[in-house]
Structure 1
Amino acid sequence: MRPGLSSSVYKRMNSKDFVGDPDRADDVSDRLLNLMDQNIGNPSWKPSLPHVCIATVSSFLFGYHLGVVNEPLESISLDLGFTGNTLAEGLVVSMCLGGALIGCLFSGLISDGIGRRRSFQLSALPMIIGASLSASTTSLVGMLLGRFLAGTGMGLGPAVASLYVTEVSPSSVRGTYGSLIQIATCLGLIAALFIGAPVKEIVGWWRVCFWVSTVPAAFLALCMEFCAESPHWLYKRGRVAEAEVEFERLLGGPHVKLAMAELSRSERGDDGESIKYSELFYGRHFRVVFIGTMLFAFQQLSGINAVFYFSSAVFRSAGVPSDIANTCVGFAYLSGSIVAMLLMDIVGRKLLLVGSFLGMAAAMGLQAIAASLSDQGSWHVYLSVGGMLLSVLAFSLGAGPVPSLLLPEIFPNKIRAKGVALCMSVHWVVNFFVGLFFLRLLELLGAKILYSIFASFCLMGAIFVRKNVVETKGKTLQEIEVALLSAV
């Protein structure tokens, strides 16, 4: 008899009334699973927390490599001989994003092939090699190659982190744990900004900034050896007994049978062993792929990464010292991420997303207004800085953390890794071009038009979320899958 079931319920579960009527049996099975869930309550968050925290080191590295050239970019261009070349500066910023696209495209195949834990360890290797090459190079080519290599690890790590955190977290705290990815990214950005602070006073300090990143990468590779493997991946590979062991490790013994029953119910709907990337563009899976790709496209077209990459330069042009600017940006980002973590499993993903995009639209509008009033007194500087900080705050409340959490939730287990890889690839493509062309577009179009374009994309993002995104708060991955596929 299953734990938590009375003898009468157990007899009903095995009644001959349901033989030959799988639909009715599935309906009763769903109700029995709900009864079991109510009887034993939610799993404790404590067993899974250490595993999640180790996984988010990959997101810390992601944030660090995004921000590592923000403050030292001028020193790097002086030492390597490309001062004043905005295209070269854009390449140094965005080359890691080109590498990230490659890493992300293969993340689905890698994480499905060797598992989530080994994928984390694999992602750490190019980040160590790439950072070492960037730190020791004496040419622009060496810098670009190092940034590209580090980027491949950046692309692999966050995609796997989204999968892993979703698959090892209890549903009651999955949103909170997903927000830890955003907080880790934020801490990585802050660390990069603060470690880069002495770059103006100490010759060659920018090299130290790159060397520092090798330490958390090595830490990730080592500690992941002791973390749990994703039970969803193990079950998908036919390693059922190992999946049960990992569920017990992550959720506690009383919840193992319920978790395994939900996995089994989900797998019964699959009609094959594997799926090709091309199959994601048609049929019943297209809707969730469309939602995921559009979410990441709107996230990047909001202009937020232009703030992160070039905040020091923008603030300096406004007369604000870069150390103060970086402190304010980091504080706004961290504050919003913490608030999002607290609200994610209370108000839900959809409301945070809509509010975030609307807040960013207002912030970009302030930036555009400030740019149009640049010749009417110094107060426009404060308006510009306020708009930039509001943009960071609004982004961290929803548009930042929610898409990477929502995607693994809405994809069925069968296609989760490939689907996340495909959608996050859109993120890297748009991210790459924003980083590459932002300064050039700022020169050609001016701040007023450019920020107005960003504001328009934010408004379109809010409308898209309102019409297409389903709420996933508190639901199991299998419940979300059933809700989405039934709507096709």
Structure 2
Amino acid sequence: MKNNVTLLALVAALGGFLFGYDTAVISGTVGLVKAQFGLSTVMEGWYVSSALIGTILGVLFAGFLSDIYGRKKILILSGIFFALSAIGCAVSGSFNGLVVYRLIGGIGVGMASMLSPLYISEIAPAKNRGKLVALYQLAITLGILVAYFSNAYLLHVSTLNTVSESSGMLHKIFVAEVWRAMLGSETIPALIFLLLLLAIPKSPRWLIMKGRQAEAETILMRFLSKETAQSEIENVEDVLSKPSMGIKDVFKGPFKLAMVIGIALALLSQISGINAIIYYGPKILEEGGLQLGEALGGQVIIGIVNVLFTFIALWKIDNLGRKPLLIYGIIGIMTSLLIVGVLFYMNTDNTYLLMTFILTFIACFAFSFGPVLWVLLSEIYPLKIRGTAMSIATMAVWLGTTFVGQMTPWFLENLKPHGTFWFFALCMIPALWLAVKVLPETKGKSLEEIENFWLTRKK
């Protein structure tokens, strides 16, 4: 029974894999696209952040669409956007066309970034919901890692005699403009995601919200006993029986603090600098003295560390709790960012020392902010408006990511690498305060218990 839930969570988590892949695959193409199209620093930032504008649109519409049509249907729509973007980028005839297809991919990322953890949270039992939702973050890190490997491999393939001597479209995609192959490679996981989504059931909590209790019970009984399934349905119905609310009520009612926590942590998680490393890692590592090939290799190492330390969250999030992981992680993030800034300021030529503390930063983010954020966003909002509320919080993720994607080239040029890393460290002070002083612990509680906590807490 438990494995059935895990399989459903794994399929939904593939949205995270595509999110990570789409986010990271661009890192190997930035220098190549900039050189081919003669991009300025501002246009380089636009190439990276254009997809992030799409993510904001995707998140904006995914919430209320999923509340109306269901989580599954909009997840399928996100998979279609992923596939269209990958194919379009591979054959795009101009820089503007490339940006349009990146925007389309961004819409898919935005939808999946909200709906994958939301779907998992709504099918998962309370006792291991944290672990199952954290699978989504693990999938993101795996997507990032596979994208790094794919970029490094395709760059290597482009230099092989058997390929470099080819002609026509094959030569254009895999040799002359190998960035096309890098971006187009996302087609494969996108099609796999689409096919597997057809086999998963609708969210039982969404079905109950729509008055389809019999369908919900049938789905719940795949991984729960009949008595437990009926109890789950009764708990959800009890929550739904309370006075109706609109999104305006969330910002001024008992859920106001939940919205503030979600939005603030979502924004700050991205201004930690994680995506400066994901998007501009090769450029930053070249600043530290590595060549492009070595820098891409360094990105692969970053990806491996990102995956490995996410397993700590999977292991501990349901017994240690959300708060401790977040607090310890943020302290580690701040410390490593400060040290990396110092090393750049001192113009160190010890690239191994620099990589050690960049990897420390990645490790701390991977077991804390990365997985804990998505777990919290998927569980702290009321059922009636969960899709819309999570859309708003997730939009804060992408506003932060867009800011970092657009501004990092400017930061590196004007604040220099050391100032850039110190700026990100400074942004972690309010995050630490929120984690220590404001955030409640939600481990082991059902979604309905968490909802009732906000309703009954004292002001």
Compute the TM-score of the two structures, normalised by the length of structure 1.
0.87
Q: Which residue in the other structure is 1:104 paired with?
A: 59
Q: Which residue in the other structure is 1:72 paired with?
A: 29
| Partner residue of 1:116 out of 41, 65, 71 | 71
Q: Which residue in the other structure is 2:48 paired with?
A: 93
| Partner residue of 1:330 out of 300, 303, 326 | 303
After TM superposition, the structure 1 = structure 2 runs for residues 425-440 of structure 1, keeping only pairs within 5 Å, are 425-440=395-410
How many residues in Structure 1 have an aligned counterpart in Structure 2?
437
| Partner residue of 2:243 out of 271, 277, 281 | 271
In angstroms, what is the RMSD of aligned CA positions?
1.5
The answer to whether the Cα contact below 8 Å between 1:123 and 1:152 also exists between their aligned partners in 2 is yes
The answer to whether the Cα contact below 8 Å between 2:113 and 2:394 also exists between their aligned partners in 1 is no
The answer for unaligned runs of 5 or more in structure 2 is: 159-174
Question: Over residues 56-78 of structure 1, what are the superposed CA-to-partner deviations in whole Å (9 max), with x where a residue is unaligned?
Answer: 11111000110111112222233
Q: Which residue in the other structure is 2:201 paired with?
A: 228
SS at match of 1:68: helix
Distance in 1 separating the partners of 2:16 and 2:289? 32
1:254 Cα deviation after fit = 4.1
The answer for unaligned runs of 5 or more in structure 1 is: 1-43
Q: Structure 1 residue 57 and structure 2 residue 29: aligned?
A: no
Q: Which residue in the other structure is 2:281 paired with?
A: 311
Distance in 2 separating the partners of 1:281 and 1:478? 19
Distance in 1 separating the partners of 2:182 and 2:223? 36
Distance in 2 separating the partners of 1:110 and 1:298? 27
Question: Over residues 140-165 of structure 1, what are the superposed CA-to-partner deviations in whole Å (9 max), with x where a residue is unaligned?
Answer: 10110010000001000120111101
Look at both structures and tell me which one has the larger radius of gyration over its CA atoms.
Answer: 1
Distance in 1 separating the partners of 2:155 and 2:191? 28
SS at match of 2:38: coil
Q: Which residue in the other structure is 2:171 paired with?
A: none
Q: Which residue in the other structure is 2:220 paired with?
A: 247
1:413 Cα deviation after fit = 0.8
SS at match of 1:250: coil
The answer to whether the Cα contact below 8 Å between 2:134 and 2:371 also exists between their aligned partners in 1 is yes
SS at match of 1:226: coil
- Which fold has the larger relative contact order, with Cα–Cα distance below 8 Å and residues 6 or more apart in sequence? 2
Q: Which residue in the other structure is 2:328 paired with?
A: 355
Q: Which residue in the other structure is 2:166 paired with?
A: none
Distance in 2 separating the partners of 1:228 and 1:251? 15
| Partner residue of 2:427 out of 435, 457, 461 | 457
Q: Which residue in the other structure is 2:109 paired with?
A: 154
Distance in 2 separating the partners of 1:134 and 1:77? 15
Distance in 2 separating the partners of 1:361 and 1:131? 35
The answer to whether the Cα contact below 8 Å between 2:63 and 2:390 also exists between their aligned partners in 1 is yes
> Structure 2: which amino acid aligns with 1:141?
N
Distance in 1 separating the partners of 2:452 and 2:130? 19
1:385 Cα deviation after fit = 1.8
Identical pairs, percent: 28
Q: Which residue in the other structure is 1:400 paired with?
A: 370
Question: Over residues 360-417 of structure 1, what are the superposed CA-to-partner deviations in whole Å (9 max), with x where a residue is unaligned?
Answer: 000101111112211xx523x3332222111111001110111111122111111211
1:264 Cα deviation after fit = 2.2
Distance in 2 separating the partners of 1:107 and 1:365? 37
Q: Which residue in the other structure is 2:98 paired with?
A: 143
| Partner residue of 1:237 out of 210, 229, 236 | 210
| Partner residue of 2:38 out of 77, 82, 100 | 82
Distance in 1 separating the partners of 2:35 and 2:418? 30
The answer to whether the Cα contact below 8 Å between 2:268 and 2:400 also exists between their aligned partners in 1 is no
Distance in 1 separating the partners of 2:389 and 2:301? 36
Q: Which residue in the other structure is 2:125 paired with?
A: 170
| Partner residue of 1:128 out of 83, 87, 98 | 83
SS at match of 2:51: helix
> Structure 1: which amino acid aligns with 2:179?
W
